[in-house]
Amino acid sequence: MTADRAEPPAHAGLADLRGSGELRAGQIVYLLPMYRLAIATVLGATVGVAQAQPTTRPAGKPAPIKPPAATLPAVGDAFALEGGPGWPKLDWIYDVPAPGDAAGKVVIHWFCAPKIPACTDDLARVVTLKENGKVYIVAYINGSKAQAQKLDPIRESEGVGRGTVAFGRGATRLMKDLGVTGPASIVVDVDGKVQLVTSAAGPAELDARDAKVNAATAAIKEYVSSSEGPQVVKPGDKFQLLIGIKLAGWLKYSDKTPRELDITVPPDIKCDAVKLKGEQIKVDDKQLTASVTCSGPRGTYEARGELRFGYDAPGGGTGIGAESARWKFEIKN
């Protein structure tokens, strides 16, 4: 004979419910406020923990992106002294390419390898181009240091400031990526733009490359001069006689060399100065301007100006600039 299980009272607390051993629908009619709060807190914490759990497994670490292989540039492309995108780390016989030494020069990136007869023949040509004085060579030799030294166009102390030579695994990988064996050349002008890309080794192709390099070096100018003055002016009116210099981008005006302008005019022409020095000559970055203001009576005249200045190169050394100008003008009503 089984005794009936006692029902928990309608106002039972949590302890009473736990002691009853089970909960059946309809049994919990009323809970004291403190127990309702406890149940709500437990349920809320359970929901919060469930929401905090990740629904998916975190993604693994992304695979590293392989850099693109080096490629040959096209004519007209901007091309840096240290090469293009994807070029590997290189070992150098001398030092890394020096922007200060290469500034204002035509740069030849030259690729060759041992046991290629055409490379030995072209080496003599590249050495001759280097002797121009306005050419910087960056050579890449697919071989060991000893092999690279045999194809070195810089020639150690003979070529200080005129280039450098890469060798070893980096040069081997680079030439493989570029698809060149040698001799091959990339010719870059003073503005950093590619003028020629060639991988042909025939005499005609090498002659064309040499001609391109010589034309590019002949076009190099440290500065460009200009002059301004009137052709006709009225008596008594003031007018300017001006000489201007536009310096090349890789140079700067020297503070070590005096800047002077001497003006020679007929006796009837009166100017506020006939000699300018130092700060009387204006310099704004690459632009130099020297001018005087004059006036005079009726007549036909000719004046002359002589300007002297200096400029510094990035690799050291100072150049001297000397420019002259003539002005012919008429003063009439």
CB neighbour list of residue 245: distance below 8 Å, 6 or more residues apart = 223, 224, 225, 226, 287, 288, 289, 307, 309, 321, 323
What is Dmax (Cα atoms) for the chain?
149
Question: Residue 56: what pLDDT?
Answer: 53
d(CA 222, CA 313): 10
Question: Residue 63: what pLDDT?
Answer: 65
Q: Are 198 and 214 in contact (CB under 8 A)?
A: no
Q: What is the mean pLDDT of each run of 10 residues along the chain (333 residues)?
A: 45 44 42 41 40 52 74 96 94 94 96 95 95 94 96 82 95 96 95 95 94 96 96 96 96 94 97 96 97 97 98 88 97 95
Which tokens sit at 29?
């009619």
Question: Residue 59: what pLDDT?
Answer: 58
Architecture of domain 223-331: Sandwich (2.60)
Amino acid at the residue 204: A
Question: Residue 272: what pLDDT?
Answer: 96
Question: Residue 60: what pLDDT?
Answer: 61
Question: Residue 68: what pLDDT?
Answer: 80
CA-atom Rg of the chain in angstroms? 41
Question: Residue 133: what pLDDT?
Answer: 87
3-state secondary structure 168-209: HHHHHHHHHHHCCCCCEEEEECCCCEEEEEECCCCHHHHHHH
Question: Residue 288: what pLDDT?
Answer: 98
Sequence ranges of the chain with CATH classification 3.40.30.10:
91-218
Partners of 287 in the β-ladder: 246, 284
Question: Residue 182: what pLDDT?
Answer: 86
Q: Are 188 and 79 in contact (CB under 8 A)?
A: yes
Question: Residue 314: what pLDDT?
Answer: 87
Q: What's 156's DSSP letter?
A: G
CB neighbour list of residue 180: distance below 8 Å, 6 or more residues apart = 72, 111, 199
Closest C-alpha to 306, from 326, 284, 280, 287? 326
Question: Residue 36: what pLDDT?
Answer: 44
CATH of 91-218, one of 3.40.50.1370, 3.10.20.30, 3.40.30.10, 2.60.210.10: 3.40.30.10
- Burial string for 74-95 (b: 16+ CB within 10 Å, else e) reads eeeeebebebbeebbebebbee
